Amino acid sequence: MNSSFLIQQLAYAGPVIVVYLVGLVLAVIFIKKYPVPAILTLLATIILLGNIFGIAFAQEYFIRARLVSGGSMASYSTMMSAVSLIGSIMRALGSALLLAAVFVGRNRKTIPA
Give the pLDDT band (50/70/90) at residue 112: low
Inform me whether the pLDDT recorded for 2 exceeds 80.
no
Q: Amino acid letter at 5?
A: F
DSSP string of 22-56, one letter each residue: HHHHHHHHTTTTSHHHHHHHHHHHHHHHHHHHHHH
Q: Of all residues in the chain, what percent carry a pLDDT higher than 90?
A: 65
Burial class of 57 by CB neighbour count within 10 A (0 to 12, 13 to 18, 19+): middle
The residues spanned by each domain of the chain are 4-103
The C-alpha angle with vertex 50 and arms to 80 and 11, in degrees rounded to 5, equals 75
Longest Cα–Cα distance of the chain, Å, equals 72
Mean pLDDT, the chain, integer: 90
**pTM (2 decimals)?**
0.84
pLDDT tens digits, one per residue of 26-61? 999 999 999 999 999 999 999 999 999 999 999 998
